[in-house]
Amino acid sequence: MSAVFAAVSTDAPIFVAQNVFFAVVALLMVGSALKVVTTSNVVHAALWLVLVLAGAAAQFILLGSEFVAVTQVLVYIGAVVVLFLFGVMLTRASMGDDESVAGEKRSMAAVVAGLLLAVMSVALIDSFSDDRVVIDQPQLVTTVADSIFSQYIVPFEAISVLLLAALIGAIVVARRD
Q: Specify the residue, 14 or 90, whose C-beta has the smaller distance to other proteins.
A: 90
Stretch that binds other proteins, among 41-49, 112-120, 124-132, 157-165 (CB under 8 A): 41-49
Residues 147-176 that bind other proteins (CB under 8 A): none
Shortest approach of other proteins to residue 68 CB, angstroms? 11
Mapping DSSP onto H, E and C, the string for the chain reads: CHHHHHCEECCCCCCHHHHHHHHHHHHHHHHHHHHHHHCCCHHHHHHHHHHHHHHHHHHHHHCCCHHHHHHHHHHHHHHHHHHHHHHHHHHCCCCCCCHHHCCCHHHHHHHHHHHHHHHHHHHHHHHHCCCEECCCCCCCHHHHHHHHHCCCHHHHHHHHHHHHHHHHHHHHHHCCC
Of the pair 14, 95, the CB lying nearest other proteins is at 95
Q: Mask 89-128, x = binds other proteins (CB under 8 A)?
A: xx--x-x---------------------------------
Q: Smallest gap, in angstroms, from Cβ of residue 74 to other proteins?
A: 4
Contact 1, 143 (CB under 8 A): yes
Quick one: which segment of 4-12, 88-96, 104-112, 150-158 binds other proteins (CB under 8 A)? 88-96
Per CB under 8 A, contacts with other proteins among 131-150 are 138, 140-141
- Long-range CB pairs of 151-156, under 8 A, 24+ apart, other chains included: 151/2, 152/1, 152/2
Contact window for other proteins (CB under 8 A) among 23-31, 39-47, 98-106, 117-125: 39-47
Which spans of this chain sit near other proteins (rule: CB under 8 A)? 43-44, 47, 50, 66-67, 70-71, 73-74, 77-79, 81-83, 85-86, 89-90, 93, 95, 138, 140-141
